[in-house]
Structure formats: structure tokens, C-alpha cells
Amino acid sequence: MYLFANATIYIGLAIAVYSLLIITLGISTKNQKFVNSGKSGMIALFICAAMAMIAMFYLLATSQFQYEYVTDYTSSELPIIYKLTALWAGNAGSLLLWTFFLTLYMIMIAYSRKMKGNPMVPYISAILLANAVFFFFILGFVAKPFNILDTVPTEGKGLNPMLQNPGMIIHPVTLYLGYVGLAVPFAFAMAALLMKNVDDFWIKMTRRWTIVAWLFLSLGNIFGGQWAYVELGWGGYWAWDAVENASFMPWLTATAFLHSVMIQERKNMLKIWNISLIIVSYALTLFGTFLVRSGVLTSVHAFANSNLGLYFLIFMGVAVILALYVLMSRYNLLKRSAGEFNSIVSKESSFLVNNLLLVGAAFATFWGTVFPLVSEAVRGTKVTVGMPFFNKVEAPILLSMMFVMAVCPLLAWQKSTVKNLRKNFMIPAILAVIGMALMVILGIQKAWAVIGYGVIILLLVTHFLEFYRGVKARRKMTKESPFVALYRLMVRNRRRYGGYIVHLGIAFITMGIIGSQNYDVETMKTVPLGQSIELRDYRINYDRLDQKKEGINDIVYADVTVFKNGKKLGTFQPEKVFYGNWEQPSSEVAIISSLKEDLYIVLSAWEDNGKATFVVKVNPMMDWLWIGSFMIVIGALFAVWNGKYGNVTPRYTGVRKEVS
Amino acid sequence: MKKKLYLGLLLIAFIFQTSFLRVEASQINYKSAEFKAVAEQFACTCGCGQDHYECDPNTCNLTKAFKKDLVGMMNKGWDKDKIRQYYVNIYGEEILTSPEKSGFSLTAWVLPFVVIGLAAIAVFIIIRKWVKQKGSEAVMTDCESTEDEVEGEILSSMIDEERKKYL
């Protein structure tokens, strides 16, 4: 097994190098045979990565503790699902997963129906292969997944209990799919530049792949937040930790690209900017990995410190320099076809403002993340840049972003006249102002909340009007029933209405964030058995304290009965779990959810006389966050789904005969 | 006699004061808003990545002692700025969860907005330039506009007809 497992890595490295060289040779000599050989090599590479994954799964599942990785992240009593998911618990394993996804994406593109006969394929393949060479090199020489120990331990060290949660099964997978996914638009961009051909086909394909990567990146962040909320027992979901920031930054820049590419599509402008956004998004995924794996910043997510980060930094540097060189060398070509704007107030301009704010938010996140390093370098003083900083700096930027999002759908392409503005915005603006006034009257008086919810009302109304006007226009011509008209309107404009669904999802998430950040209440009380804790409308009766054993873990739990306004909601069990093979205990919280708010109960401590300490929190509107997240997924899938009336990708109609 | 009376009164006041303080000390809830305002300024260094408000005193001894000290200072009547200054003097700026808004650290707060502001000006100038470019071309093509309008109308009616077919 040892030989087989290691062979998959080293043979993989050899194949990756071979395929890269032969494809490059094929491109330069225009020899289809060489290119085909390289493409076949990519299948072999995928098989190698898949075999390495299977080998690792097998070793983990059968607890082969002679392997360092198996010992470090599993123990024999671990449930099988967590034994398997331990594959991405450590450095080497997670990079193996990354490599597997990279090879998977590679063959998906090289052998896709849409790309058949396309001369871009060899270029894209070569760029992705260069990435694969790097990752196989790392797996072969730096973070080796199949290292064997001199002495075989009888038991493994076990998996960090925090990672033993369904959220942790899926969070890293989606995040890596997003990270690796951004390498695809990068490869498309570089291929287009090298071929001097940034046409419609390029835009459609790149946009599609960016949405896929963006969706996975969103999912990764959402699952991470959800995991933090239920597992960490602090009642929050986003801590602006360096690693969270690392995945948020490419998300912001990819979002910016998805919007600005529309201007390129319509007006053939902003080509350089769009390609720069793709390069930056790709570079930020590598930068994030550098942060996580180098230990330069303190982070709860950090892997064991190693020099791995340095390799990523070097790789990122090389990739960015090469990409910028290619971009500069094609500068004139891209600049030549620049168009112009008709008016200062137009949809085009609002997209530029959107880009400014999204990239601005990404810069603010970047600056806050690296500021501890900057401060230490400049004046030798370490500083901590934590949640209060990011909340204060990002809130105005992201709220302005929401405003642009609310306004943009009603701005006309080309030019918005005063008359047009008045006609489109009068009703939404009046409704938003009435909503804000009502909020103040009803007692919601915190400035951020009032402004934030006001902007969200504006957004909901403008988006409703978009759907309403679309349906109305359609019905005028087709005389369909409203629902049929809505359905057909949406499936015939998938990207547009998918985008709007995503906007609505973001609005719901923002509602949840504003509610839970501004109106949460919390208490920590020690009560004897039979007594109760009261918080807002809730009464929590502390009925029983007991302990049980699950496998090698001891669990202390409390039975609490929850009443809301005197009405019984049920009996719940917040727990504290003491692990047989881990020092730190963890809290299993009791969460009682409703659309209005979550009641969040943590069993914090207890005494011999039965007294127990509880932390009780009321988090308003948390469900809106999850509903919004769900809508983002639906919207993004709706946009990329290739239905009968979907946006048919134009066949490649290049002028030059090339290898493909 | 008077002196004794004063002394007695002082003693009573002293006793009353301490008992009063004790009552207040037991009243400070680690999850109260007043404690939050003070404690969330300080980063816990146990490796949890949280501040001293969030960090659980039942699992982290560091924050247990820290929280006790904070309550002690609050009972002495120190406000959050004084407590902040006290800890910054001992541990430096690193103890804070966000950089100071003075000196070099001010750049952390200001730079993002300066950059966005400058970029906003640049975007405005660029859009204006593009609009102007279009404007100058529009003057040149003005004479052809009436003909264009008629053509445009015919074109849009044709597009409408086509559109109906595909809806």
C-alpha cells in the first residue's frame, strides 16, 4: 500500500511535468499529436489523484497508524464518517483534496462538449497543468501525505472534536472547490490573452466558470459560519479571522468581476480591468493559502506551522508576475477596442461604482489582515486587528454596496434621464422612507439598523418592480397568466433573474446580520436546580443535571424547559462534551429557532451542589441568514443552468486554424 | 468625643462602602452591556482568537483572571478608557482587539477610505472622459440623426415582431 500510495504522487508529478511540456511543445509546433498526448496525460493525472485519494481514504478508514497522517488526525474509535473526512483535517490531506479537484476541473474543461475543437483548450490545459505540477511537487516533497512512522503507535491522536460536526464535512470541500474553481477563469483569461482573442465565447465561458467557483466559495463561507454558530458556542458566525478574510477577499473580487464583465459583454470595454480582477481573485486564493499554512498570522484556522506557506507565496509571485507580463504585452490589443459611455448616470456607471465598492471592501479586508505585519515591520510594535475594526470599516462600505445594488436594477442602460429616474425611483424611495419612519416609531432606533433596513426595503421594492414590469410587459404581448409569464420570463433570462434571486438572498443575509448584530441580548447566570433564568420573553427552567457516556466521551447535560410568554416550547439539552482523547471540552448548544429569533443556550459550568451556569442568548433574525444563503445557491444555480432557452454558448468561431 | 464620633462615622461609612461595593461586584454580569463595553476591547491571548468578553471563563483560566481584574477596576470606578490605558501601558497595543486611532495605527483605519475616495475620483474622471468622447462624436453625427431616427423606428418595429415570435 505504501508503495502504491506514494507511486500515485510521484508518477502523478512525472505525468504532470510530461503533459505540461508536451502540450506546450504541441502549441508551439502546432502539432495536434503532441496536444492529444498531453490531454491523455491529463486523464492519467486525474486517475493518479483519484487513486491517491482512494488510498488515503482506505488508510484512514482502516486506521493504519503506521502512517503519520492517520495517527495525527484519527483514532480507532472515531466514527467512520469522521475518519474519512479527516482527509482534509491536516495540511497534506487538504492539499491532496485540492489537487484532486484541480485535476477534476482540468478534465471537465479539456473534454467538455462545449470546448470540443476549441483552440483555447491546449492553452487552458497548459496553465492548469502548471498548477498541477506545483501541487504534485508540494505533495511529493513538502507536505507528504503518505509518510510512514518508525514505530507504529497503538492509537492515533484523534480528530479535533471541533471538526467532528456535519458542517466540517462539507465546509472545506466547498471552500476548496471554490478556491480551485478560480484557477479556471484565470486559465481562460491567460489563454485568451496568449491567443489574442478576448471574444464573446471567452466572456460566456469565463463568466460561467466564475459563477461556479463563486457559488462554491459562497457555500464554503456559509457552511463555515453555520459551523461556527452551532459548534463554537459563542453565538457568532463570522469573526473576521485572517483565514475567513482570506476566503472573503476572492469572493469580493469575483463578485466584482461577475458584474463588470457585463460591461465588457455589452460595450466591449473594461477588458484590462476584468482580466486584472480575475488575476487578483486567483492570486488571493493562493495568498489565503499562504496565510493559513505559514503561521505568519495568528488564526484559529491555522494549520501546523510549516514552510509550506513560503512555497505558496513564491508560486503566487511567479504566477502574478507572469500574468501581468502577458497582460502588459497584450495591452495595446485590449485597449484598441475601448468604447465609451453615454451618460454619467447609467447602469454602466453604477456597475463601476459597484466594482469600486467591492474592490474597496476587498482592499479594506486585505489591509486589516496584513496590518499586524505592516505595523511590526514599520515600527516594531505588534497590533491585533480584530472584529471591532472590520465591523466599523466594512459596515459603511458594504452598506453603500447594498444601496448601489438597490438602485442599479432600475437605472437604464446607456442613459438615465431625470424623468426616468423620477418615474423609477419615486415609489421605492417613498416606501423606504415610510418603512424607516415606521421603524423609528416602533422602537428600532439604532442608526445602522434604520439605515440598513431602509436600504433593504428599497432593494426589495426595486427588485419586485423588476419582476413586476417584466411580467407586465410579457403579458401585454403574450396574454399569459401571471405565473406562466413569470416562469417564462425567468427561464428565458436565466442570468438576469438568477442574479436578482442572488441579490434578494444577499438582502436577507444582510437583514439577519443587522438584526443579530444590533439587537442580540445575552446573559450568564448560575442557578440552583429547579430555578429559572429569564431573558426577554423567555423563561428557561433548569430541571436536571446528569451525565452519560458515549464511546470514550463523557457528556454532562442539563435538561431545561423553555417557555415563551408563558407558553411551553419544549425541553432541551445543552451539553458539555469531555473527549477521551482531547484536552479541551466542547459545548453542544441548544438552539430554538424561529423566523423572529434564535434562543441560544449554552451549559457553561456546574457545581457539586447541582448549581449550573448557563449562557443564554437571543439572536434576532438568524434564520434570515440561512434563508438568504439558500436563495444565493438557488439563484446561482438558476443562472448557470443550461435550460432549453438557456444562454446558448456561441460556438467558437476563431479566425486562425489552431491545434485544439 | 467629637473626634471619636467622626472616627466612628468614618468607620461606618467605610464598612458601608465596602459592603456596597461587594453587592455591586456580585452584580456585574459577565454578559452585561457595561462589562461588554470594557471587556471586548481586549484580545484574549489563550489562542482562542476571541476577546475577553467572548472567551469562556469556564474553559480558559487566562480570561477568568482577566475578567476578575476588570470587575475589580470597574468597581473602583474606572471607566473603560482608563482601564484600556492601564493595560496598554503594561502590554502595549497588542492587547487591544483593534488598533489605536492615533499615530501610525491611524493608517489602519484611514487608508481604506482614502484609497476608495481616490479611486472614486478616478472613476468619476474616467466616466466623464468617456461621456465626453461620446459627446464629441455625437456632434459630428448630428446631421445624420433624422435619417437615423426613421431607420431606428423601422428597426425597432422589426425587432418587436421578431421578439413576439420567440416569446
Give residue A58's domain range.
1-159
d(CA A470, CA A492): 11
Q: What is the pLDDT of residue A403?
A: 94
Q: Chain A residues with CB inside 8 Å of B50's CB? A: 234, 239
Q: Chain B residues with CB inside 8 Å of A233's CB? A: 56
Task: Report which of A235, A94, A68, A227 is spatially closest to residue A153, judged by C-alpha positions.
Answer: A68
Q: Which of B81, B98, B115 is the last residue of a domain?
A: B98
Does A644 contact B at CB distance below 8 Å?
no
Does B43 contact A at CB distance below 8 Å?
yes
**What was the ipTM of the complex prediction?**
0.86
Q: What is the pLDDT of residue A647?
A: 46
d(CA A126, CA A281): 20
Q: What is the pLDDT of residue B27?
A: 59
d(CA A515, CA A521): 11
Which residue from B48, B93, B113 is facing A383, i.e. has the nearest CB? B93
Q: Which residues contact A190 (CB under 8 A, 6 or more apart)?
A: A123, A127, A323, A326
B92 & B121 share domain: no
**In chain A, % of residues over pLDDT 70:** 94
Residues in B 69-88 with any Cβ partner in A closer than 8 A? none
Domain membership of residue A581 (yes or no) is yes
B44 & B17 share domain: yes
What integer best gives the mean pLDDT of chain A? 88
d(CA A34, CA A27): 8
State how many domains chain A has.
Answer: 2
Q: Which of B42, B72, B98 is the last residue of a domain?
A: B98
d(CA A347, CA A345): 7
B50 & B66 share domain: yes
The 3-class SS string of A19-58 reads HHHHHHHHHHHCCHHHHHHHHHHHHHHHHHHHHHHHHHHH
- Render pLDDT for A191-221 as a digit per residue (tens, 0 to 9): 998 988 777 778 888 888 999 999 999 999 9
DSSP state of B96: B
Does B146 contact A at CB distance below 8 Å?
no
B60 & B80 share domain: yes
State how many domains chain B has.
Answer: 2
Domain membership of residue B93 (yes or no) is yes
Domain membership of residue A32 (yes or no) is yes
d(CA A253, CA A258): 9
Q: What is the pLDDT of residue B143?
A: 46
Q: Judge contact between A198 and A334, C-beta under 8 A.
A: yes
Q: Do A389 and B98 touch (CB under 8 A)?
A: yes
Other Cβ atoms less than 10 A from the Cβ of A57: the count is 15
Instruction: Copy the grid coordinates of residue A565.
Output: 410568554
Does A605 contact B at CB distance below 8 Å?
yes
Q: Do A387 and B97 touch (CB under 8 A)?
A: yes
Q: Which residues contact B108 (CB under 8 A, 6 or more apart)?
A: A367, A368, A371, A375, A383, A385, A389, B99
- Render pLDDT for A99-137 as a digit per residue (tens, 0 to 9): 999 999 999 999 988 888 888 899 999 999 999 999 999
Q: Do A375 and B105 touch (CB under 8 A)?
A: yes
Q: Do B119 and A360 touch (CB under 8 A)?
A: yes
Q: Which of A111, A138, A159 is the last residue of a domain?
A: A159
Q: What is the pLDDT of residue A478?
A: 82
pLDDT over 60 (residue B141): no
Does A477 contact B at CB distance below 8 Å?
yes
Q: What is the pLDDT of residue A21?
A: 96
Q: Which among A6-20, B8-22, B50-64 has the top mean pLDDT?
A: A6-20
* A352 → chain B, closest CA residue: B123
Domain membership of residue A606 (yes or no) is yes
Tell me which of B50, B55, B98, B137 to substitute to probe the interface with A (most A C-beta atoms closer than 10 Å).
Answer: B98
> In angstroms, how far is the first alpha carbon of chain B from the final one?
106
Q: Do B94 and A388 touch (CB under 8 A)?
A: no
Q: Which of B98, B114, B142 is the last residue of a domain?
A: B98
B38 & B85 share domain: yes
Rounded to the nearest angstrom, the minimum Cα separation between A124 and chain B is 32
| Confidence bin at A4 (pLDDT 50/70/90) | very high
Domain membership of residue B2 (yes or no) is no
What integer best gives the mean pLDDT of chain B? 76
B44 & B113 share domain: no
- Render pLDDT for A569-622 as a digit per residue (tens, 0 to 9): 999 999 998 888 777 788 889 999 999 999 999 998 898 888 999 999 999 999
Pairing assessment for the beta strands A586-588 and A521-527 based on DSSP bridges: unpaired
pLDDT over 70 (residue B139): no
Q: What is the pLDDT of residue A219?
A: 94
Q: Which of A159, A183, A212 is the last residue of a domain?
A: A159
Residues in A 607-626 with any Cβ partner in B closer than 8 A? 613, 615
Domain membership of residue B8 (yes or no) is no
In CATH, what number is assigned to the domain containing residue B65?
1.10.8
Q: Residue A104: what residue type?
A: L
- Render pLDDT for A548-567 as a digit per residue (tens, 0 to 9): 988 888 999 999 999 999 99
Does B117 contact A at CB distance below 8 Å?
no
* B53 → chain A, closest CA residue: A234
Q: Phi then psi for A56, rounded to 5 degrees?
A: -65, -40
Domain membership of residue A374 (yes or no) is no
Domain membership of residue B4 (yes or no) is no
- Render pLDDT for A337-363 as a digit per residue (tens, 0 to 9): 556 677 778 888 889 999 999 999 999
Q: Chain B residues with CB inside 8 Å of A605's CB? A: 58
What is the mean predicted confidence (pLDDT) over A369-378?
Answer: 90
Q: Which residues contact B31 (CB under 8 A, 6 or more apart)?
A: A522, A523, A524, A615
- Render pLDDT for A382-437 as a digit per residue (tens, 0 to 9): 888 988 999 999 999 999 999 999 998 888 777 767 777 788 888 899 999 999 99
Domain membership of residue A274 (yes or no) is no
What is the mean predicted confidence (pLDDT) over A367-396?
Answer: 90
Q: Judge contact between A398 and A365, C-beta under 8 A.
A: no
Q: A496: burial class by Cβ within 10 Å (0-12, 13-18, 19+)?
A: middle
Task: Report which of A616, A608, A609, A633 is spatially closest to residue A574, judged by C-alpha positions.
Answer: A616
Establish, for the pair of chains A and B, how many residue pairs have beta carbons separated by less than 8 Å.
Answer: 136
d(CA A458, CA A429): 6
Residue-by-residue DSSP string for A306-325: -THHHHHHHHHHHHHHHHHH
Q: Which of A131, A159, A187 is the last residue of a domain?
A: A159
Least confident window among A134-138, A145-149, A448-452, B23-27: B23-27
Q: Assign 3-state DSSP to chain B and report helix, strand, coil percentages, each to 5.
A: 75, 0, 20
* B163 → chain A, closest CA residue: A477
B68 & B17 share domain: yes
B21 & B93 share domain: yes
Q: What is the pLDDT of residue A310?
A: 84
Does B7 contact A at CB distance below 8 Å?
no
pLDDT over 50 (residue B18): no
Q: What is the pLDDT of residue A586?
A: 84
Q: What is the pLDDT of residue B162?
A: 67
d(CA A251, CA A214): 6
Q: What is the pLDDT of residue A235?
A: 81
- Render pLDDT for A486-516 as a digit per residue (tens, 0 to 9): 998 898 888 899 999 999 999 999 999 999 9
Q: Do B116 and A397 touch (CB under 8 A)?
A: yes
Other Cβ atoms less than 10 A from the Cβ of A422: the count is 10
Rounded to the nearest angstrom, the minimum Cα separation between B30 and chain A is 7
Q: What is the pLDDT of residue A391?
A: 92
pLDDT over 90 (residue A291): no
Domain membership of residue A115 (yes or no) is yes
Give residue B154's domain range.
106-166
What is the mean predicted confidence (pLDDT) over A156-174?
Answer: 86
Query: Nearest 5°: CA angle at A98, between A96 and A99?
Result: 65
Q: What is the pLDDT of residue B2?
A: 56
In CATH, what number is assigned to the domain containing residue A15?
1.20.120
Q: What is the pLDDT of residue A646?
A: 42
Does B136 contact A at CB distance below 8 Å?
no
> pTM of the entire structure?
0.88
Q: Phi then psi for B43, rounded to 5 degrees?
A: -85, 135
Say which residue, A152 or A304, is predicted with more confidence.
A152
Instruction: Copy the grid coordinates of residue A240.
Output: 473576521
Q: Assign 3-state DSSP to chain A and report helix, strand, coil percentages, each to 5.
A: 65, 10, 25
**Distance, C-alpha B65 to centroid of its chain:** 27
Domain membership of residue B6 (yes or no) is no
Q: A83: burial class by Cβ within 10 Å (0-12, 13-18, 19+)?
A: buried
Domain membership of residue B5 (yes or no) is no
DSSP state of A532: E
B36 & B85 share domain: yes
What is the mean predicted confidence (pLDDT) over A138-148?
Answer: 92
